[in-house]
């Protein structure tokens, strides 16, 4: 019953949003009430599955696993980065313009020859290759590589662990906690506050 109520709430929300926006987009417009209700129910169902992660998490997780192995990096670390970056959703865009599953900046995506940053497989491949480069650069120190993944290698080299932005320090702790929770060990480079 709770699920039905939640689904109905979602349908009403979508219906209200469509009305507020001045009508549905072309692919959503229908001539019959029943067709419109069915379309709303389908949209609500997909939205519910998207919100719970059940639509994309499995295939996206598989893409990250596959590409991490191909890049020769710890699978758990790549999964932790993808989870922290996008919540394992391949259509996320950050306020700074980072895109996709592993939140690649447009310039980084181009350098890594990622043609479609919203394609989970391509994004996971690019993100894993980039993480592999950073791990090599920092002698396998996962937390330092993760800091560079978030803040950029130049900023990590200039500032060191203590002087990194609070957002980066928090990000490193989050990724390393997720990584350790997956059975991997290792001390975090960014510690303390």
- Catalytic residue annotation: 85
Cα–Cα distance between 109 and 51 in angstroms, integer?
Answer: 26
Furthest C-alpha separation in the chain: 63
| 72 contacts 132 by C-beta, under 8 angstroms | yes
CB 150 within 8 A of CB 166: no
Distance CA 79, CA 88 (A): 8
All structural domains of the chain with their residue ranges: 2-52, 57-181
* pLDDT value of position 84: 95
Tokens 């709430």 found at: 9
In sequence order, what are the beta bridge partners of 38? Answer: none
Q: What is the phi/psi pair of residue 47, to 5°?
A: -65, -40
Give which of 121, 113, 173, 111 is closest to 142, Cα–Cα. 173
| pTM confidence score | 0.66
Structure tokens at 61: 């997780």
Write out the chain's pLDDT in tens, 193 residues.
444 444 444 444 444 444 433 444 444 443 444 455 555 555 555 555 445 444 446 899 999 999 999 999 999 999 999 999 999 999 999 999 999 999 999 999 999 999 999 999 999 999 999 999 999 999 999 999 999 999 998 888 776 666 888 999 999 999 999 998 854 444 444 433 3
pLDDT of residue 182: 53
Return the pLDDT at 158.
Answer: 73
Which CATH number, 3.30.930.10, 1.10.530.10, 3.40.1160.10, 3.40.50.620, labels domain 57-181?
1.10.530.10
């Amino acid at each position: 019953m709770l699920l039905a109520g939640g689904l109905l709430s979602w349908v009403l929300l979508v219906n209200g949003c469509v009305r507020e926006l001045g009508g549905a987009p072309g692919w959503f417009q229908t001539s019959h009430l029943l067709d419109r209700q069915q379309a709303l129910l389908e949209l609500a169902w997909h939205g519910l599955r998207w919100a719970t992660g059940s639509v994309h998490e499995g295939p996206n997780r598989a893409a990250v696993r596959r590409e991490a192995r191909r890049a020769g990096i710890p699978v758990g670390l790549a999964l932790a980065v993808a989870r922290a970056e996008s919540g394992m959703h391949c259509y996320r865009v950050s306020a700074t313009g980072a895109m996709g599953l592993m939140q690649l900046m447009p310039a980084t995506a181009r350098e890594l020859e990622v043609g479609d940053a919203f394609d989970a497989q391509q994004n996971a491949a690019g993100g894993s290759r980039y993480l592999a480069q950073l791990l090599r650069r920092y002698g396998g120190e996962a937390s330092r590589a993760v800091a560079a993944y978030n803040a950029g290698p130049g900023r990590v080299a200039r500032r060191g662990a203590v002087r990194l932005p609070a957002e980066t320090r928090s990000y490193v702790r989050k990724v390393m906690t997720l990584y350790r929770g997956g059975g991997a060990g290792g001390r975090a480079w960014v510690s303390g506050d």
